Structure 1
Amino acid sequence: MIEFIASAMKHENNVAIRTSEADFTYKDLLERSGQIAASLLNGREHLNEARIAFIINPGFEYVAMQWGIWRAGGIAVPLCVKHPFLSLKYVIEDTSAEQLIYTDDYHELISPFKSFENLRVSNYQNLHEDAADLPQVDADQRAMILYTSGTTGKPKGVVSTHCNLKSQVNSLVEAWQWTSDDHILNVLPLHHIHGILNATCCPLSVGATVEFLPKFNPNTVFDVFMKGDVNIFMAVPTIYFKLVTVWKTFSDEQKSEVKDRLSQFRFMVSGSAALPVSVLEEWRGISDQTLLERYGMTEIGMAISNPLIGERRPGYIGQALPGVGARLYDESAEVKEEGVSGEIQIKGDTVFKEYWKKPEATEESFTEDGWFRTGDTAVIENGYFRILGRNSVDIIKSGGYKISALEIEEVLRKYPGIKDCGVVGIPDEEWGEIIGGGLVAEKDEIDLEKLNSWLREQLPNYKIPRKYLFLDDLPRNVMGKVTKKELKTLF
């Protein structure tokens, strides 16, 4: 028996899913997922890892579909509800999906799939077989394929087994002390590991409640918060930025009420992208909550986290989670010294099984002794990991120095007159790379000479080349962030 089913049976009367329409108990979830499993089996004893793709909005139907696939012994392939047809087609064809399940909202989008050979297309509402004896699903069976583009080539299907998912969930349940009393508002997309694992599988594994919104809206999020049920929230930095922006429009009385309510939350998490310290500090002022930053990937679930109880350091991702091995590795040796950069490498049962139908890519992603190469560079300072950036994108190699684009961005955001920025390395014959910075200014002009001098004072350990680039000189395909006329580049 899959572990989450046993847990659900212990909490049958608890509210598992809350939507704007209704509450659904764990008993409802067990009954509906059993019907779906029986329908997918269609008389067979076991799906034997058949790939079942589905495109369903976040909510009860999504979770019931996911559980149904797993209970029938299939591999769940959740599709992004915002992807165009060609992106969906790539996933369907790459996984050789046996079935595609959809809800009415996506009837028009998926209609062309009805002519595909060897693909059964079904409406979710038609999955109503009486649940019979369902198969035994082993821990080493493949459970899910999520697609991640990485930094090069076509998206790769990341295959996780039931053992992988169980290990990832158990690690977070222990670290973040999940209980059946918890209630999380989930506004994250459910084709990514953050929304699926952290904000859905974890709470449902302990009998807690997951609340979904039909669509993200900052004002609606605050409305839900103020009802008093939610005590955990997870989001990406952009969402926190939007919430801060809306909060600033509230009256003084509303701001006080919001702060009092948010201060009662058990914890709040930020992930999936680097959290600017400025946003962390603003949110702390609003909520009395220090956002818990953590580090994870589709391939590894969550691997490193700031502590639930203890010091949460702004700009740091924390320490290895329970059951996770984490190390830094540079060139040919493990980094033992603090303050020296290296690639984050991860080992343990939380690490994925393979890239779907890509044995060479899978092999290249692991070291000879079995550590997964994340492609992220970090340092350890006073026992905490601090991300410097992606090896291929955010680490600028200039004049023999390794320079973190993320660190420069964080410093630039503190300069008066700069609203936001993006930093990349630009090829250069003399330096190897020079630093290109795109700035969004509050006013039309920034004195680049003064800014350059100030930045050198802030980053004395970096040998920043004294070179300048202007927007017209930057190839557009080098830096996707350079899209507005007000952006200027420097150094």
Structure 2
Amino acid sequence: MKDLKATKTFNASSELLDGNAAVRGDKVAVYCGQEKITYKSLLKNVNRFANVLEALGVKPTERVMIVLPDSPMFVYAFLGSIKYGAWPVPVNTMLKEDDYQYMLDNSDARVLVTEQDSKAASVRTTQFCYKLLSGHGLESLMDSSSDEANAYPSGRDDIAFWLYSSGSTGRPKGVPHRHIDMIHSADNYGKKVICVSEHDVCFSVSKLFFAYGLGNGLHIPFRHGASTVLLPTPPSPESVMETVATFKPTIFFGVPTQYNSVLKRMDDSTVDSFKSVRVCASAGEALPPEIFRKWKEETGLEILDGIGSTEALHIFISNMPGDIRPGTSGRVVPGYEAKIVDDSGNEVEEGEAGQLVIRGESVTKGYWQRPEDNNEKFLDGGWFKTGDMYTQESGYFTYQGRGDDMLKVGGIWVSPVEIENVLIQHKAVNEAAVVGHEVEGLSKAFGYISLNEGYVDRSGHDGLTDEILNFVSERLPKYKWLRGIYLVEELPKTATGKIQRFRLRK
């Protein structure tokens, strides 16, 4: 492999596509419904989109906001913008007009690429902004554009694109990423952990506008000449299983909530759908050991749980094939470093809980125009404070919760995740979250749970909550017992499926 640091001109779009178009141009790069897009066709359409931006007079480094479902057009707009030198900004398709207004203004977007019926399309911007509507004119503009384009002469450390953080506790933050970041992630997690090759077909239930989904469905497969399967619609358990049965992916990416949902819909006629899959990966939130066990029992496949972030672009700690410890996030991915520190920044003893900080080539250099957050999160020496609490033993990292999720009961730190993992083992429990509430001025642990279908009609009976409380008490030391349980229809979550415990503390 060539020395990436010695390369003066480095455009991530060209790095991902040019070699594939030359070597395997007729191979299908993207499957989406009835569409099959070869690498040669993909490159041509990426070039056409780049030329549309040029014809509009868009300047390099100006922002191109993308509000599109997973589709070939998303890929054309994203990689076409990078090739031209503009900065694509893919954002969540499930937001409200107010959110799009904020992001369009915050990014000072010059172009919005979306669909006519999206909420983003009706937003009035404070700056001049072209609106390119997929299905209503954009395709015609591309058809009339040349399918050849020169790549903008960017450097490996130049900004290539933005993402937005989930904003679960405030306004989302712009997260710029460089041209090298996608390549670093794909070469390390993609090649050294899940061993992607040109023979693989990748399917990600998480969408492309998420950092996790972007890696799963775009830069990891394209970096290694593999194929990707895109699902434009929301990923219901039924549509996920149908997609797996139709396209027979070899690598399946999900999050714990989605694995759990698919498990509950799986039967003898659908379990065979996963026979083509050789690797299952999970991120977004810690995978409960019970879901790992049930998935392996039903499909014969082990799930590689890991942790990543928007700031790091993809997964930086992961379980590995042949080296899996259920209930942990695994070991540090090659190309990254991680350590656990106390509030003063000193490394803690093995087995002691502390804040997880990481370092690696794909970690952003800072949020867009957020100096206070940058001072708090980005530490000396290139370290980034993730906000997650972890323990580490023998090189294996175990998630304990977000920093503000940890409970201190009787002067002892308690991980909500540990109690949740016990709760989910009960046959009646679908999902669980544990938070602290004050009782007589002291913090006590309370559980919020949603029930499995067969138990919803028992939700009004105190006997069920008592049964679940006893179930927990029999399996944990007394200081980790729950003071009470609340039954809810659904737990509050972010768009990525992470449980928002802070909303339950209110």
TM-score (norm 1): 0.87
Q: Is 1:219 paired with 2:231?
A: no
In structure 1, the residue matched to 2:7 is none
Contact 2:401–2:415 (8 Å) recurs in 1: yes
- Output the amino acid matched with 1:140: D
How large is the RMSD of aligned CA atoms in angstroms?
Answer: 2.8
Which residue, 385, 397, 411 being the options, matches 2:408?
A: 397
Return the offset for 1:266. Answer: 1.6
In structure 1, the residue matched to 2:189 is 172
Return the offset for 1:465. Answer: 7.7
In structure 2, the residue matched to 1:331 is 343
Contact 1:49–1:141 (8 Å) recurs in 2: no
Q: Is 1:411 paired with 2:422?
A: yes
Taking the aligned partners of 2:96 and 2:167, their CA distance within structure 1 comes to 19
Post-superposition Cα deviations, 1:4-36, rounded to whole Å, max 9, x if no partner, equal 133333332211111112211111111111111
Taking the aligned partners of 2:90 and 2:186, their CA distance within structure 1 comes to 18
Contact 1:320–1:326 (8 Å) recurs in 2: yes
Q: Structure 1 residues 79 and 151 mapped into 2: Cα distance closer, same or farther (>3 Å)?
A: closer
1:168-317 equivalent positions in 2, closer than 5 A:
168-174=185-191, 175-215=193-233, 216-227=235-246, 229-248=248-267, 252=268, 254=269, 258-259=271-272, 262-300=274-312, 301-308=314-321, 310-317=322-329
Taking the aligned partners of 1:93 and 1:360, their CA distance within structure 2 comes to 20
Contact 1:97–1:119 (8 Å) recurs in 2: yes
Post-superposition Cα deviations, 1:305-336, rounded to whole Å, max 9, x if no partner, equal 0002x221211110110110111111235435
Which residue, 157, 175, 179 being the options, matches 1:158?
A: 175
Contact 2:18–2:43 (8 Å) recurs in 1: no
Bigger drift between 335-344 and 213-222 goes to 213-222
1:92-111 equivalent positions in 2, closer than 5 A:
92-106=104-118, 109-111=120-122
- Partner SS, residue 354 of structure 1: coil
Return the offset for 1:451. Answer: 5.3
Q: Structure 1 residues 211 and 469 mapped into 2: Cα distance closer, same or farther (>3 Å)?
A: closer
Taking the aligned partners of 1:276 and 1:165, their CA distance within structure 2 comes to 29
Contact 1:71–1:137 (8 Å) recurs in 2: no
Taking the aligned partners of 1:40 and 1:233, their CA distance within structure 2 comes to 34
Contact 2:286–2:329 (8 Å) recurs in 1: no
Return the offset for 1:228. Answer: 6.2
Q: Is 1:118 paired with 2:137?
A: no
Contact 2:342–2:348 (8 Å) recurs in 1: no
- Partner SS, residue 339 of structure 2: strand
Which residue, 50, 61, 66 being the options, matches 1:37?
A: 50
Bigger drift between 174-183 and 146-155 goes to 146-155
Taking the aligned partners of 1:403 and 1:179, their CA distance within structure 2 comes to 42
Identity of aligned residues (%): 26
Which residue, 142, 145, 151 being the options, matches 1:129?
A: 145
Contact 1:147–1:156 (8 Å) recurs in 2: yes
Post-superposition Cα deviations, 1:277-321, rounded to whole Å, max 9, x if no partner, equal 22222211121001110110000121100002x221211110110
Q: Structure 1 residues 112 and 421 mapped into 2: Cα distance closer, same or farther (>3 Å)?
A: closer
Contact 1:182–1:230 (8 Å) recurs in 2: yes
Contact 2:248–2:277 (8 Å) recurs in 1: no
Post-superposition Cα deviations, 1:86-129, rounded to whole Å, max 9, x if no partner, equal 111111000001111223443x751343x754212223322443
Contact 1:263–1:289 (8 Å) recurs in 2: no
- Output the amino acid matched with 1:224: T
Taking the aligned partners of 1:466 and 1:4, their CA distance within structure 2 comes to 51
In structure 2, stretches of 5+ residues that fail to align are 1-9, 493-499
Q: Structure 1 residues 326 and 224 mapped into 2: Cα distance closer, same or farther (>3 Å)?
A: same
Q: Is 1:384 paired with 2:396?
A: yes
Q: Structure 1 residues 43 and 213 mapped into 2: Cα distance closer, same or farther (>3 Å)?
A: closer
- Partner SS, residue 446 of structure 1: helix
Which residue, 12, 21, 31 being the options, matches 2:25?
A: 12
In structure 2, the residue matched to 1:488 is none
Contact 1:51–1:96 (8 Å) recurs in 2: yes
1:21-36 equivalent positions in 2, closer than 5 A:
21-36=34-49
- Output the amino acid matched with 1:20: G
- Output the amino acid matched with 1:341: A
Contact 1:169–1:198 (8 Å) recurs in 2: no
In structure 1, the residue matched to 2:447 is 437
Bigger drift between 66-75 and 447-456 goes to 447-456
Taking the aligned partners of 2:486 and 2:241, their CA distance within structure 1 comes to 42
1:360-371 equivalent positions in 2, closer than 5 A:
360-371=372-383
Taking the aligned partners of 2:204 and 2:166, their CA distance within structure 1 comes to 24
Which residue, 78, 88, 99 being the options, matches 2:90?
A: 78
Return the offset for 1:70. Answer: 0.3
Return the offset for 1:153. Answer: 2.6
Return the offset for 1:360. Answer: 2.0
Bigger drift between 278-287 and 403-412 goes to 278-287
- Partner SS, residue 42 of structure 1: helix
- Output the amino acid matched with 1:184: C
Which residue, 81, 94, 110 being the options, matches 1:69?
A: 81
Contact 1:425–1:436 (8 Å) recurs in 2: yes
Q: Structure 1 residues 211 and 420 mapped into 2: Cα distance closer, same or farther (>3 Å)?
A: closer
Which residue, 418, 427, 433 being the options, matches 1:422?
A: 433
In structure 1, stretches of 5+ residues that fail to align are 484-491
TM-score (norm 2): 0.84
Bigger drift between 149-158 and 234-243 goes to 149-158
Contact 1:36–1:69 (8 Å) recurs in 2: yes
Contact 1:38–1:134 (8 Å) recurs in 2: no
Taking the aligned partners of 1:51 and 1:209, their CA distance within structure 2 comes to 28
Taking the aligned partners of 1:458 and 1:69, their CA distance within structure 2 comes to 54
- Output the amino acid matched with 1:164: D
Taking the aligned partners of 1:11 and 1:445, their CA distance within structure 2 comes to 63
Return the offset for 1:168. Answer: 1.6
- Partner SS, residue 382 of structure 2: coil
